Chains A and B, each alone.
Chain A
């Protein structure tokens, strides 16, 4: 049985990366996620598992190093916070165009621009709607505890390699900086050359005489072929939407009012639901764990059960668009948000929900 440790979310994520057989981390420091690279450098995994850890000269360089590692079928990752993730968007779009797996961690802070260093969820649109140019999606996982910061690393790589879609862990300053008890995942070996050849036959591993040359590129000059690539990619997206949506329900069974929140906001809202229940108000919390694919069908189910919904986010109203699309006008959906690095108290959300009674 693994030991229970007390750790920051960022530290837990770094340990989990080493343990899940990640081959390479490439990053550039930025608050509030710097502990990820600090922990990796202190742990020196290159001496144990052989994982490469490199401080690149910029975020642009980091994401292109991830692209390089991924092209060879390696588990490659980077992490940053909002302004740094904006810099990476070109590389992320290229990875999606080349159908490469990989992991990008965004420990969000308030924006736009350099913004603040305090927690925020204002990169929801960027994470779930593409972010860079072109028709694409990332697999987006939103941890709400230190334990999930650890657990989602392996899950993100698993899904990413399964579908050849880059994955993003969309966290924020609360989950990154908070300490909680955590049980780290067991050690998993890195992919062997044989495993890469077998499971990732598209990877650049040196051309043997037995197969044709592999080419990793997002460029295709023939628009008819480019459309075909896009059609196949969209088919994969539809499959992901149908099978991979994850969510958690909290006191939803008899709920008359549903709060929808993800990540750190969901933690705050869980307390709000407890407070509302103490007053006899039947509130429940639905927490999307995957933000793309979004748990649309589950929201639709609750649209037939509850009187109204409240979307609580650390932004001006982003996930609410996906909630409203799912609800399709059946019940009112209101928004409560704080911006710029401010985090609401559970009582503020209680007050916001009471306006709907």
Chain B
């Protein structure tokens, strides 16, 4: 198993931490993993993206040009990364930030209304966990229990009371992700 993922959106949306939680979850299953962020001025309101690779075997390049899956959260990232999904690969996007829908026919495309679902949950911070849930529904590369275990590891003890909310968000994402029309 090897999955090469790019998650791309605005700085501040939780793109990097979503990637980190995914990476940690994979580590809980003793998989090999790399997490490579775009860093610097992007983090202050511009576009931000992170490349996460999860594999059963050792990982060579942490920097890639094409991806198995792209999770896309704004139009700039759609313009940049739609063409970078491997033929037969997967593209998941939140229609909220997208003005021009993806047009490729050779990949599987899914939508997930994570922004509105987070608003419904009255928890804007749940956004990235909803996305992660949606992604794991489509690509079951790590078990939900491993994500929860990963959260236990990454969150400081004083925030462990937030784990049930995160679990709800993951389940919400699994529920609302759907194939694009």
Q: Are B61 and A178 in contact (CB under 8 A)?
A: no
Q: Are A177 and B39 in contact (CB under 8 A)?
A: yes
Is A174 interfacial (CB-CB < 8 Å)?
yes
Q: Are B33 and A177 in contact (CB under 8 A)?
A: no
Cα(A347)–Cα(B41), bound, Å? 27
Q: Are B63 and A343 in contact (CB under 8 A)?
A: yes
Q: Are B35 and A347 in contact (CB under 8 A)?
A: no
**Residue from the list A173, A267, A343 in contact with B60, Cβ < 8 A:** A267
Q: Are B65 and A180 in contact (CB under 8 A)?
A: no
Cα(A270)–Cα(B60), bound, Å? 6
Segment among B19-27, B90-98, B123-131 that sits at the interface with chain A: B19-27
CB interface residues, B 55-103, toward A, < 8 Å: 59-66
Cα(A32)–Cα(B40), bound, Å? 8
Is A4 interfacial (CB-CB < 8 Å)?
yes
Instruction: Give chain A's interface residue range (CB within 8 Å of chain B).
Output: 20 to 34
Q: Are B23 and A346 in contact (CB under 8 A)?
A: no
Query: A4 and B61 in contact (CB under 8 A), knowing A31-B40, A174-B36?
Result: no
Cα(A181)–Cα(B27), bound, Å? 7
Is A331 interfacial (CB-CB < 8 Å)?
no
Q: How many residues of B contact A (CB 8 A)?
A: 21
Is A117 interfacial (CB-CB < 8 Å)?
yes
Q: Binary interface profile of A, 179-200, with partner B (CB < 8 Å = 1, else 0)?
A: 1110000000000000000000
Is A282 interfacial (CB-CB < 8 Å)?
no
Q: Are B64 and A180 in contact (CB under 8 A)?
A: no
**Residue from the list B36, B40, B64, B66 in contact with A178, Cβ < 8 A:** B36
Cα(A177)–Cα(B27), bound, Å? 18
Q: Are B61 and A271 in contact (CB under 8 A)?
A: yes
Q: Are A174 and B63 in contact (CB under 8 A)?
A: yes
Is B34 interfacial (CB-CB < 8 Å)?
yes
CB distance from B157 to the nearest CB of A (A): 16
Q: Binary interface profile of A, 124-152, with partner B (CB < 8 Å = 1, else 0)?
A: 00000000000000000000000000000
Is B32 interfacial (CB-CB < 8 Å)?
yes
Query: A174 and B27 in contact (CB under 8 A), knowing A117-B39, A118-B40, A179-B20?
Result: no
What 4 additional pairs, Cβ within 8 angstroms, besides A271-B60, A346-B60?
A: A180-B35, A268-B60, A346-B61, A347-B65
Q: Which 4 A-B pairs have the closest CB atoms?
A: A345-B65, A270-B60, A271-B61, A179-B35
